[in-house]
Amino acid sequence: MIKRRERLLGPAYRLFYDRPLNIVRGEGVWLFDCDDNRYLDMYNNVAHVGHCHPHVVQAIKKQVGILNTHTRYLHDNVLDYAERLLDKMPDDLDVAMFSCTGTEANELALRVARIYTEGTGIIVTEDAYHGNSHAIAEISTEDNEPEDRSDYIVTVPAPDTYRGIYCQKDAADKYAEHIKVAINLLKKRNIKVAAFIIDTIVSSSGVVGAPPGYLRKAAEIIREAGGLFIADEVQPGFGRTGKNFWGFESDNFVPDIVTLGKPMGNGHPIAATIIQRDIIEKFSKKTGYFNTFGGNPVSCAAAMAVLDVIENENLQKNALDVGAYLKSGIKKIAEKYSLIGNVRGSGFFLAIEMMDDRTNIPATEKASEIVQRLKDFGILTNTIGPDENILKLRPPMIFSRENADFFLMGLDKVLQEVRYD
């Protein structure tokens, strides 16, 4: 099958694991392969409320049997969902523009920012990922080298207080100062800044939670220079951290633009760019917006059902409670194995950083081995970070204490195997 895939899809597509899985169905927190082996899904944030959640499946089935078309016709589903989604946002963020993917949501955010500010410069964190279109791949700095970037893209360090350049109490101020440096560098290039874009929990750098005050200070600095603050909530949004519904809420400020993606529809393609009205009004005077399938009635039905499940099953609180239980269990395991250098995150957005205790350097090979062995045990996750030494955990929001116990048992077993091999 692998050879057939490469022949038909080409060599650019990537697969997980040395021995890739042929996944044929999903149910709740579990994925099943073609031999009916089941795997605990600790990584896939697409199925936000669980694979094939019955309420979401039924909503899709019902609407697809009635109508699915584009947004140049009026339809209550689109407006009802927009209204409900905006109710989850601060009052100033009062316009929703729909697309199909987080990439498209971020691309629209950049277009809006550039038209509103009349600038082109984009500031982004190092090792970031925001999507895969041409414009967004350029600012997804984890996949391109500095010499390959356009002059209008400038990077700043991810606000990491574990292995980053600042780990002390004033880390928020010091990291924020790099945004001023980036703005000045753009000025020297005769480029006006348009926006600073960041994951509100910096995912690709290793699930880095910014030090308190950093996001707010960054917003102040970029606005003072005439730019906009874009909060990418594709991964931390919709209650995943447990503490808040949106990642940016942890720092008590309101972004200018918020982008949302894959968790919205639980696997059905829908994304959104949420914008302050005065910003979009200037954009609208220069150009219109249309996306054939963005916010279609079926996708909006799926997204509405996701909000139903989050609220009716109290999943944000579940993320907070079970996430704390899971994190505590990992920390107890870390006391036994010096390979674990750091455990961080909140709710169902956690990271386990593997460090070689003898040399204090990233344990990249060991982390990869742990991922492979966890898969053999029946647990799916993967590595992230500039050194690929960090296990990222993003289970579905219905994840239970029983599921956490299974993961902790598997992690303990695998770490013991790795230690003695």
CATH label of the domain that carries residue 19: 3.90.1150.10
Number of separate domains in the chain: 2
CATH label of the domain that carries residue 75: 3.40.640.10
Instruction: Tell me the whole-structure pTM to 2 decimals.
Output: 0.95
220 and 302 part of one domain: yes
Q: What's the CA gap between 368 and 252, in Å, rounded?
A: 37
SS3 217: helix
CB 236 within 8 Å of CB 190: no
Nearest to residue 124, comparing CAs of 189, 204, 187?
A: 204
Between strands 153-156 and 121-125, the pairing is parallel
Between strands 379-380 and 271-276, the pairing is unpaired
As given in the structure block, the two tokens for residue 200 are 């509100």
174 and 287 part of one domain: yes
Q: Which of 288, 312, 336 is the last residue of a domain?
A: 312
Phi-psi domain of 50 (left: phi exceeds 0; alpha: psi -120 through 50; beta: other): left
Nearest to residue 112, comparing CAs of 290, 291, 231, 279?
A: 279
HSE (CB half, 13 Å, CA atoms) of 240? 33
What phi and psi, each to the nearest 5 degrees, are found at residue 179?
-70, -40
232 and 344 part of one domain: no
221 and 95 part of one domain: yes
Residue 36: which domain range? 2-52+314-420
Q: What's the CA gap between 97 and 272, in Å, rounded?
A: 5
Q: How far is CA 348 from CA 196, 232, 270, 285, in A?
A: 26, 17, 22, 41
- Across the chain, which has 421 residues, the per-10-residue mean pLDDT values are 86 85 95 96 93 98 94 91 97 97 96 97 93 88 80 94 89 96 97 97 88 96 98 96 96 96 95 97 93 94 98 98 98 94 96 84 94 96 93 97 98 90 61
- What's the confidence (pLDDT) of residue 192? 97
**Please, which residues have CB within 8 angstroms of residue 9's CB and are 6 or more apart in sequence?**
none
Nearest to residue 410, comparing CAs of 317, 333, 327, 335?
A: 333
Q: Which of 279, 312, 345 is the last residue of a domain?
A: 312
